[in-house]
C-alpha cells in the first residue's frame, strides 16, 4: 500500500469508535505488510516464473509449482480477507467511509 493510500485510509479510520479504531489500525498495518510482501513475490515470479525444477536423488526430477507462487496465492487470499474485513468495519460506521476505501484501493 503506497504511503498516500495508507495515510488516506488511516484518516478514514480516525473517526471510528476506539475499539473499532484499534482493530482497523491493526488490520491496516497487516494489509500494508502483506502488500509489500506481495510486491516482492510478484517480482520474483515475474523473473523466475510460476514453476521450478526439482531433483530428489539421482533419478527423481521434474517440474513443480514454485514455492513463491504457493506463498503468493496464500498471501493474496489473506490480503483480500483483511481488506474485506477493514471495509466491513468502515461500512458498519457509515456507507461513505467503506465506499471511499474501496474506491481508493481500486485506484491504488
Q: String of b and e for 12-49 (b: at least 16 CB within 10 Å)?
A: bbeebeeeeeeebbebbebbbebbeebeebeeeeeeee
Q: Which domains does the chain have, with CATH numbers?
A: 3-107 (1.10.287)
The whole-number average pLDDT for the span 55-76 is 94
Please report where in the chains the cell 474485506 appears, as a residue: 84
pLDDT at 26: 92
pLDDT at 74: 97
Amino acid at each position: 500500500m503506497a504511503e498516500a493510500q495508507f495515510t488516506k485510509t488511516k484518516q478514514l479510520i480516525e473517526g471510528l469508535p476506539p475499539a473499532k479504531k484499534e482493530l482497523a489500525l491493526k488490520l491496516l498495518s497487516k494489509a500494508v505488510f502483506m502488500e509489500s510482501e506481495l510486491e516482492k513475490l510478484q517480482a520474483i515470479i515475474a523473473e523466475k516464473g510460476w514453476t521450478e525444477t526439482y531433483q530428489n536423488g539421482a533419478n527423481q526430477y521434474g517440474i513443480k509449482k514454485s514455492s513463491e507462487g504457493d506463498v503468493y496465492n496464500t498471501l493474496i487470499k489473506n490480503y483480500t480477507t483483511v481488506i474485506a474485513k477493514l471495509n466491513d468495519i468502515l461500512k458498519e460506521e457509515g456507507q461513505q467511509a467503506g465506499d471511499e476505501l474501496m474506491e481508493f484501493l481500486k485506484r491504488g
